[in-house]
């Protein structure tokens, strides 16, 4: 991709947002027309570390291990690591049941994952480290300083952050040219997109390595620039926040709002259920980054979202958000707070 944006929003796109087929290319505001696909070459990366074993970390470790990479999965919480292994096992079983994976691949995949609690030990011999810890800016800077101290000089340091500035995280290290955003989508084993975010100093080599590596994982990378929320959450989070406002103002109930967006807009899942899957704490953090980063009231988180996070109703991961989830069957019903 050529560099897009950075204040150059003055040239009109000659033919709407897309050119006619056969070459589907996107017109970026203010600069050239770009194409997101490049030739796949092997990156020769073998050893990966994933920091954070929660919703995203377990999925990222799953995908790397399934594709033959040796993975160190690191979390401060031993119970999060055990839960992650159990989730990966269940998700591999689901793929086997659907005929998408050979039975033998389950053991091979799990054997490639080693769990650890110390970052220093876990990153020491790695080629790539993907940070997927809690969405907290100060925590991420601290983790990146530790990664930078202990990882080999050649290692690429990537973050799965949903919204926090890659440039700002990179500035905490002595290798900002080797820091990049590698934003996987949830659930990682299923979703094709990797949003690849180039920080201010990220080098061309590191960017093309991560684009190639994403393809080796069977994903489709799309390169974007580093502004709050990037592309995915800049667009998704205001929609989720507006769905919560719509509920808060009593325009519709939980199921009604989700049904309108599923049946009317062909979304596979309603925005409130999607918020539950993402985690309401994660949604709140992203909205705060958008609100702080742009200073516009339209990104202010709905007070209902703020209250739900304060009450510990974080969605699927805590068993209740807008819906309540049966831990065994994953069946859902509207949470009692919204039916009273």
Ligand X SMILES: NC(=O)c1ccc[n+]([C@@H]2O[C@H](COP(=O)([O-])OP(=O)(O)OC[C@H]3O[C@@H](n4cnc5c(N)ncnc54)[C@H](O)[C@@H]3O)[C@@H](O)[C@H]2O)c1
> Token pair for residue 75?
């979390």
Residue 5: closest CA among 225, 211, 230 = 225
> Token pair for residue 9?
């929003």
- Give the one residue of 133, 169, 196, 304 binding ligand X; rule: CB under 6 A: 133
- Report the relative pairing of strands 193-198 and 220-225 from DSSP bridges: parallel
Which residue out of 58, 183, 214, 285 is catalytically annotated? 183
Nearest approach in angstroms of CB 14 to ligand X is 34
Phi-psi region of 312 (alpha: psi -120 to 50; beta: other; left: phi over 0): left
- DSSP H/E element including 257: helix 254-265
Cβ nearer to ligand X, comparing 27 with 155 = 155
Q: Site residues for ligand X, window 143-182 (CB under 6 A)?
A: 143, 160-162
- Give the one residue of 101, 147, 170, 278 binding ligand X; rule: CB under 6 A: 278
Nearest approach in angstroms of CB 332 to ligand X is 17
The count of residues interacting with ligand X (CB under 6 A) is 27
Which residue out of 91, 233, 241, 285 is catalytically annotated? 233
What is the residue-wise DSSP string for 46-94? -EEEEE--SHHHHHHHHHHHHTT-EEEEE-S-HHHHHHHHHHHHHHHHH
d(CA 134, CA 311): 18
183 is known as an active-site residue: yes
Q: Do 54 and 73 meet the contact criterion of CB atoms below 8 Å apart?
A: no
Cβ nearer to ligand X, comparing 27 with 274 = 274
d(CA 49, CA 74): 7
195 is known as an active-site residue: yes
Cβ nearer to ligand X, comparing 202 with 285 = 285
216 is known as an active-site residue: no
Nearest approach in angstroms of CB 237 to ligand X is 11
162 is known as an active-site residue: yes
Binding mask 50-89 for ligand X (x = CB under 6 A): -xxxxxxx----------------xxxx--x---------
> Token pair for residue 304?
């209902």
Name the site residues for ligand X (rule: CB under 6 A): 51-57, 74-77, 80, 132-135, 139, 143, 160-162, 183, 186, 278-279, 282, 317
């Amino acid at each position: 991709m050529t560099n897009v944006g950075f204040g150059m929003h003055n040239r009109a796109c000659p033919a709407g947002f897309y050119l006619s087929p056969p070459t589907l290319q996107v017109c970026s505001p203010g600069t050239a027309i770009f194409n997101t696909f490049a030739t796949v070459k092997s990156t020769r990366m073998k050893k990966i570390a994933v920091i954070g074993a929660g919703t995203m970390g377990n999925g990222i470790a799953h995908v790397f291990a399934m594709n033959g990479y040796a993975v160190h999965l690191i979390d401060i919480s031993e119970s999060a690591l055990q839960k992650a292994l159990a989730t990966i096992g269940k998700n591999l079983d689901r793929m086997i049941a659907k005929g998408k994976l050979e039975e033998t691949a389950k053991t091979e995949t799990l054997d490639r994952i080693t769990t650890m609690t110390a970052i220093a030990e876990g990153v020491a011999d790695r080629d790539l480290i993907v940070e997927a810890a809690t969405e907290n800016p100060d925590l991420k800077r601290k983790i990146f300083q530790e990664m930078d101290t202990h990882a080999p000089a050649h290692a690429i340091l990537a973050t799965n952050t949903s919204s926090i500035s890659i440039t700002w995280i990179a500035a905490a290290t002595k290798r900002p040219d080797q820091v990049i955003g590698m934003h996987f989508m949830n659930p990682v084993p299923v979703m094709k997109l990797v949003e690849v975010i180039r920080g201010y100093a990220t080098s061309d080599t590191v960017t093309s390595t991560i684009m190639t590596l994403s393809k080796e994982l069977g994903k489709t990378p799309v390169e974007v620039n580093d502004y709050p929320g990037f592309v995915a959450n800049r667009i998704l989070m205001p929609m989720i926040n507006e769905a919560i406002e719509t509920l808060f103002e009593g325009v519709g109930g939980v199921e009604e709002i989700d049904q309108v967006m599923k049946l009317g807009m062909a979304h596979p899942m309603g925005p409130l259920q999607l918020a539950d899957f993402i985690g309401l704490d994660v949604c709140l953090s992203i909205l705060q980054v958008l609100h702080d980063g742009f200073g516009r009231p339209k990104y202010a988180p709905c007070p209902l979202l703020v209250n739900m996070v304060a009450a510990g109703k974080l969605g699927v991961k805590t068993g209740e958000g807008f819906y309540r989830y049966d831990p065994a069957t994953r069946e859902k019903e509207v949470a009692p707070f919204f039916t009273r």
